[in-house]
Amino acid sequence: MSDPRITENGRIGQVDATVVPRFAGPATFARLPRADDVSDLDVAIIGVPFDAGVSYRPGARFGPGHVRESSRLLRPYNPAAGVSPFAELQVADAGDLAVNPFDIGAAIERIHHGARSVLERAPRLVTIGGDHTIALPLLRAMAERHGGPIAVVHFDAHLDTWDSYFGADYVHGTPFRRAAEEGLIDGTGSMHVGIRGPLYAATDLTDDAALGFQVVHSHEMDDIGARGVVERIHRRVEDRPVYVSLDIDVLDPAFAPGTGTPEAGGLSSRELLTILRGFASLNLVGADVVEVSPAYDHAEITGIAAAHALYELLSAMALSRPRPGPRRS
Ligand SMILES: N=C(N)NCCCC(=O)O
Ligand SMILES: [Zn+2]
Ligand SMILES: [Zn+2]
């Protein structure tokens, strides 16, 4: 049975919640169409149910399904941003990549090739994780798509530029070090936002800076606020194509209990949504939201925060200039 959908500007949108109750039917993200049911795609959403790279609590393999379930209540118009994202962009859910749960190397290869083939069809890719390991193959695909290193704005409690864990180089604490080593990251336009909590040593920060990242620490929010963070991001990124990697643990555990490595003293969901709204004037070409672990969630608090973060990212894409293509020289 095909459900009645909201269709605007020729774009096929959400199942109409005034006709089909929003708790009925399959949970694609925001009850958007499946990618197979649309001809042209501006943004593809994929799930990557992978969590073999975690160092503490497991369960992020169930993140994609949980965030989709938690996205059923999203309505078509975003009043804070002043845009109906699904009327401006054809957004569709391309389902999950089937990744090997036992072999991290094979999973990374699969994610790289899966993301690359989705990017042949859609200019912009939004991914629901999965643990943070998946950012490395996603960045490989993004850098290929844009013909060179890409600016990354990384929201996280953690730097994720550590070197290895138990001798393993490809885990959720290392993706941005591996990506920098592989030349995927534009070291003049990248930053971490929301960093906090104990480190292994002070050199974690100097090593990270040497890889080309600037840092906005979580405690700086007290002084500069969400708007100040947006200004810092704009000054750093300028008009580069930018990829947002959002570890849900950037939020305080009060706002995101359902995650694997929680740290006290994080952002509120309101602060995060305000910052993401500031991306509307950037050239946002891709994003991921990772580290949602539903077994530790309560009342979908974390799933809903992740769904709303994705909705703001899609709204920002709808408002930003559609100019994916080769990187500026
Ligand atoms: N990427 C996330 N969420 N966490 C990394 C934590 C690495 C550690 O256990 O030190
Ligand atoms: Zn983290
Ligand atoms: Zn992370």
3-state secondary structure of 106: helix
Four-way CATH pick for 5-319: 3.10.310.70, 3.40.800.10, 3.40.50.12780, 3.40.50.2000: 3.40.800.10
Q: Assess whether the C-beta atom of 261 lies below 6 angstroms from ligand 1.
A: yes
pLDDT of residue 322: 55
pLDDT of residue 321: 58
Residue whose structure tokens are 């958007």: 32
Q: CA-CA distance, 182 to 190, in Å (whole number)? A: 15
Is 249 annotated in a binding site? The answer is yes
Give burial (CB, 10 Å; 0-12/13-18/19+) of 227: exposed
Q: What separation in angstroms does the CA of 45 have from each of 55, 120, 126, 307?
A: 26, 14, 5, 12
The residues, ordered by sequence, that sit 6+ positions from 312 with a Cβ below 8 Å of its Cβ are: 78, 81, 273, 276, 277, 279
Q: Assess whether the C-beta atom of 63 lies below 6 angstroms from ligand 1.
A: no
Q: CA-CA distance, 80 to 224, in Å (whole number)? A: 21
Q: Strands across the sheet with 91-96, in order?
A: 91-96, 43-48, 124-129, 283-290, 241-247, 151-155, 190-195, 213-217
Q: Where are the beta strands (DSSP E) in 148-291?
A: 151-155, 190-195, 213-217, 241-247, 283-290
Q: CA-CA distance, 67 to 157, in Å (whole number)? A: 20
pLDDT of residue 1: 55
- Asked if 121 and 38 count as a contact pair (C-beta separation under 8 A), the reply is no
Is 156 annotated in a binding site? The answer is yes
- Give yes or no for a cis peptide into 130 (omega within 30° of 0): yes
CA-proximal residue: ligand 1, atom 6 (nearest): 173
What are the sequence ranges of the domains in the chain? 5-319
pLDDT of residue 73: 98
3-state secondary structure 48-70: ECCCCCCCCCCCHHHHHHHHHHC
Ligand 1 atom with minimal separation from the 249 CA = 3
3-state secondary structure of 175: helix
Give burial (CB, 10 Å; 0-12/13-18/19+) of 4: exposed
pLDDT of residue 326: 45
**Relative to the alpha carbon of 249, which ligand is closest?**
2
Give burial (CB, 10 Å; 0-12/13-18/19+) of 59: buried
From ligand 1's centre to the CA of 138, what distance in Å? 18
From ligand 3's centre to the CA of 285, what distance in Å? 20
pLDDT of residue 240: 97
pLDDT of residue 329: 38
For the chain, 329 residues long, give each residue's pLDDT as a single digit of tens.
Answer: 578 999 999 999 999 999 999 999 999 999 999 999 999 999 999 999 999 999 999 999 999 999 999 999 999 999 999 999 999 999 999 999 999 999 999 999 999 999 999 999 999 999 999 999 999 999 999 999 999 999 999 999 999 999 999 999 999 999 999 999 999 999 999 999 999 999 999 999 999 999 999 999 999 999 999 999 999 999 999 999 999 999 999 999 999 999 999 999 999 999 999 999 999 999 999 999 999 999 999 999 999 999 999 999 999 999 985 554 444 33
pLDDT of residue 327: 40
pLDDT of residue 182: 98
Q: What separation in angstroms does the CA of 92 have from each of 47, 121, 184, 298?
A: 12, 12, 27, 28
CA-proximal residue: ligand 1, atom 9 (nearest): 55
ipTM over 0.95: yes
Ligand 1 atom with minimal separation from the 259 CA = 3
Q: CA-CA distance, 150 to 259, in Å (whole number)? A: 27
